[in-house]
Structure 1
Amino acid sequence: MSEVGMEKFDAIIVGAGPAGSAAGTLLARAGMNVLLVERGQTPGSKNVSGGLIYTKTINEIFPEFWSSAPVERAITNHQIVMLGEASSVAMDFRSEAAAQPPYNAFSVLRASFDPWMAKQAEDAGASLITGVTVDALKMENGRVIGIQAGPDELLADVVVIAEGTAGLLLKQAGLRSESLPHDVSLGIKEVIALPENVIQERFQCTPETGMAYTLVGHTCGIEGGGFLYTNKSSLSVGVVAKIDSIYQSKMHPHEILDAFKAHPLMTRLLEGGEVVEYSAQTVHRGGVHLASRLYGDGYVVTGSAARLVLNNVVTLRGMDFAIISAVEAAKAVLAARENGSYNAADLAGYETLLKQTSIYKDWQTFKDTYPLLENKRLFDLYPDLACNVMERLFTPTTQPSPKVFSALRAEMAALQAQRQEKVSLLTLMKDMFQIARGMVL
């Protein structure tokens, strides 16, 4: 480390996740002297994510990346599932096109995927150091001029901050405000080992394809939802729940996940599996109103450090947004190099470029979904109601079969009596309109 500390770099990148490694690759390809700094012993070792990466942007940087990257399964089947007390209602989408290049999305495990991305940056000419904690951004007259790592000061013309969701360096330097509890969720995840042949039989997959589930309900009344992704020989399963809702419930995170896994559907899907990893990490819910400052004198911020996340109830996107931001950050840094200055005014093009991408367009499209995340009925009452209505419709009795509206009214009355919680048809209609406005209209 001491030898590295003697050199000034064109760019230092803090964090070797998807954003950091993508930015490092692009800047190094353009001839910049780049240092990529990762606090884990290997890239990905500090990250708890096992999720989906959408292919469009990463394939533009690394054409046909799937031929060499450690991807798990091409996702060809998406299910959106509402979980009742002991039943479920699902919407199922299957795409044969997603099983062919250029694919649509892959399940990945960050512990293996991140080292591959960092290796691409190294192959492009970037230097990678691991096991190094960056203690602070080095400032001079309000400008970021490098990083402080233990006794070493590393200097650079520009610093790309890709430190992840916590944003500790930004907060410490006074470049980002504290997040409000209702804007932050906690992702609670397990990796559960299962033999490949069991996964393929249980989820009706080929050796190369897989499934992704988005699940709503059965989270102990806590505002949040669940996910399940098939990997080669494991499942990534978890819950993303609002931190303030968890606090109010007085439940431990692992209790919430255990209750979610105890649902009959989850029990069947996870049967015979062995938990090989448990982890938890904060996740910002994203949105234009939460975007942090993206640039300043001597620095740009990328990925989840910049709160570039989309949670529209149906999907939670982070990795592809991180890579999109890295592409635009690299463009802005290279333009600033042409100007011979990395002042805020020279790096302001980053925000302009980012606003032209799908990140801001998706935020705008789904801006009305954010109030849904505050509506507890969406995660508790309505999944039960939907399942109970379907149960009533598909269960013959000695009485005449009900129409849908009659079944709905009967189940609303039953749930109100059971929970001592009054929900009128007017409230239901208002909530359905809010859902339609946020996700359909």
Structure 2
Amino acid sequence: MSADKYDVIIIGGGPAGLAAAYKLAEAGMEVVLIERGDYPGSKNLSGGVLYSRILDQLIPGFWEDAPVERYITNYITTMMTKDDYFNLEYKGKALGNPPYNAFAVLRAKFDRWLAEKAEEAGAMIVTGIKVEKVVKAGNRIIGISTGEEEMLADVVIAADGINSFISREAGLRGDLRPEHLAVGAKALIELPREVIEERFRLNSNEGTAFAILGEATYGVAGGAFFYTNLDSLSLGVVMRLDDLARAGIKPVDALDDLLDHPLVAPLVKGGKMVEYGAHLTGEGGLHMVPSKLYADGMLIVGDAAGFTINSGLVIRGMDLAIGSGMMAADAVLEAKEKNDFSANSLSVYQQKLEDSFIMKDLKLYAKMPEFMESERLFKQYSSMANLLLAKVYTHDLTPKKHLLKSAMDTIKEERISMIGLIKDGIKGVRAL
């Protein structure tokens, strides 16, 4: 490899950058990936759910080698009040058959493994270095500067996360808006494998993923999550930044209360807290995605491009990141064949995204952020659902009412207007 000039420089060692590095290196390109942390994944807290069929296209049968935790077969949606909760559970037998639908992963382990695969394919990964700025020749991006030295390339791929100053410097993204951001507070709790499988009713490597609404975020827009790993539990709260600022609430307080909740406390009992922290995440969906994802000599991928989806039932980011990294690699390979790395040539990347599940799914759920602006969704509907079920299951010698009458009474007790309920219902149908 040349000491100062490469085919591609990738900034950021998350799933998007590593997927691009792997595919490009496998195709014989000279690739260097620069990661600010001590190793790819070192800055990540706990983990999440990887919807993994896109990774199976990049590395077939990856789960036989990768440090994945459990394949997710159980999905539980919870509506929580301070003292009560209502679970809606789905278990899919087919979800436990390869190629698996989703895995719980711990990013510190998973990202490091994917980095090793990229290195095996021929990519060079440099860690512990911060990229200061891009290097330009006129309007064309020709490399990066670390402050002490410059590195040149035909193409720079920005995979530097939600705060991506590189894409802002290149003029592809503006400042982030508070309503498009959320603060997540996460914890990782160790428990023996057999205890997890007994408490969550799991066989072998099966796993469970919770999506929690209501009291978990003190009524602030957002939600909570809870995933089973092999011998640990990942859980946390995600709270939208603008709503959080108005409410004056600390996410760590919400997380502490979640750990003490009647749903969660028995499940984490006896566990050892091994990680605890907070980070910024995207919540804007399609509204965060820049109109242009390419420039002369540059592409942006993953979180840097705003590729996240919160459908209310599932949160997706890693599969979109990996897919965008693969499509960026394809675009670079086509540009290499033409020896043309102009914006016009690299624009094929955006077309690949438009034709893929990434942009189609982002467009499908484009109205979800607007739907999730309703305070009733986080403050009143969980209370309403639990109160109604309390009436259904409580038998105190008072004559029972018809379920519809009980539902109408509950709506009145929660002071929810029928017009508001209907509006939210219509928005929910449109959003999903």
* TM-score category (smaller protein): over 0.9
**In the alignment, what sits opposite 1:197?**
194
Q: Which moved more, 1:162-171 or 1:74-83?
A: 162-171
Task: Please report how far the alpha carbon of residue 171 of structure 1 lies from its aligned counterpart in structure 2 after TM superposition.
Answer: 2.4
1:60 aligned onto 2:53: no
Q: Is the contact between residue 35 and residue 128 of structure 1 (CA under 8 Å) also seen in structure 2?
A: yes
Alignment of 1:201-216 (within 5 A): 201-216=198-213
Per-residue Cα deviation, 1:123-154 (whole angstroms, up to 9, x for no partner) = 11111111111111112212211111130111
**In the alignment, what sits opposite 1:19?**
16
**In the alignment, what sits opposite 2:107?**
110
| Shift >6 Å, 4+ stretches | none
What fraction of aligned residue pairs are identical, expressed as a percent? 39
Q: CA RMSD in A?
A: 1.5
**In the alignment, what sits opposite 1:256?**
254
Structure 2: distance between partners of 1:438 and 1:33: 43
**In the alignment, what sits opposite 1:397?**
396
The TM-score normalised by the length of structure 1 is: 0.94
Task: Please report how far the alpha carbon of residue 188 of structure 1 lies from its aligned counterpart in structure 2 after TM superposition.
Answer: 1.5
Alignment of 1:48-197 (within 5 A): 48=45, 50-197=47-194
**In the alignment, what sits opposite 1:432?**
425
Per-residue Cα deviation, 1:6-50 (whole angstroms, up to 9, x for no partner) = 420000111111111110011111111000111111110012250
Structure 2: distance between partners of 1:364 and 1:172: 27
Q: Is the contact between residue 5 and residue 152 of structure 1 (CA under 8 Å) also seen in structure 2?
A: no
**In the alignment, what sits opposite 1:412?**
411
The TM-score normalised by the length of structure 2 is: 0.96
Q: Is the contact between residue 220 and residue 259 of structure 1 (CA under 8 Å) also seen in structure 2?
A: no
1:222 aligned onto 2:220: yes
Taking a change above 3 Å as real, the CA distance of residues 338 and 5 of structure 1, as seen in their structure-2 partners, is closer
**In the alignment, what sits opposite 1:46?**
43
Structure 1: distance between partners of 2:161 and 2:362: 20
**One-letter amino acid matched to 2:224:** G
Task: Please report how far the alpha carbon of residue 262 of structure 1 lies from its aligned counterpart in structure 2 after TM superposition.
Answer: 2.8
Structure 1: distance between partners of 2:397 and 2:280: 51
Query: What stretches of structure 1 of length at least 5 have no aligned partner?
Result: 417-422
Structure 2: distance between partners of 1:160 and 1:172: 13
Query: What stretches of structure 2 of length at least 5 have no aligned partner?
Result: none
Structure 2: distance between partners of 1:51 and 1:136: 31
Q: Is the contact between residue 196 and residue 228 of structure 2 (CA under 8 Å) also seen in structure 1?
A: yes
The alignment partner of 1:352 has SS state of helix
**One-letter amino acid matched to 1:376:** E
Task: Please report how far the alpha carbon of residue 437 of structure 1 lies from its aligned counterpart in structure 2 after TM superposition.
Answer: 2.4
Q: Is the contact between residue 193 and residue 274 of structure 1 (CA under 8 Å) also seen in structure 2?
A: yes
Task: Please report how far the alpha carbon of residue 203 of structure 1 lies from its aligned counterpart in structure 2 after TM superposition.
Answer: 0.4
Task: Please report how far the alpha carbon of residue 173 of structure 1 lies from its aligned counterpart in structure 2 after TM superposition.
Answer: 4.1
Structure 2: distance between partners of 1:108 and 1:264: 26
Q: Is the contact between residue 46 and residue 275 of structure 2 (CA under 8 Å) also seen in structure 1?
A: no
Structure 2: distance between partners of 1:263 and 1:244: 25
Q: Which moved more, 1:169-178 or 1:28-37?
A: 169-178
Task: Please report how far the alpha carbon of residue 5 of structure 1 lies from its aligned counterpart in structure 2 after TM superposition.
Answer: 9.0
**One-letter amino acid matched to 1:436:** V
Q: Which moved more, 1:273-282 or 1:177-186?
A: 273-282
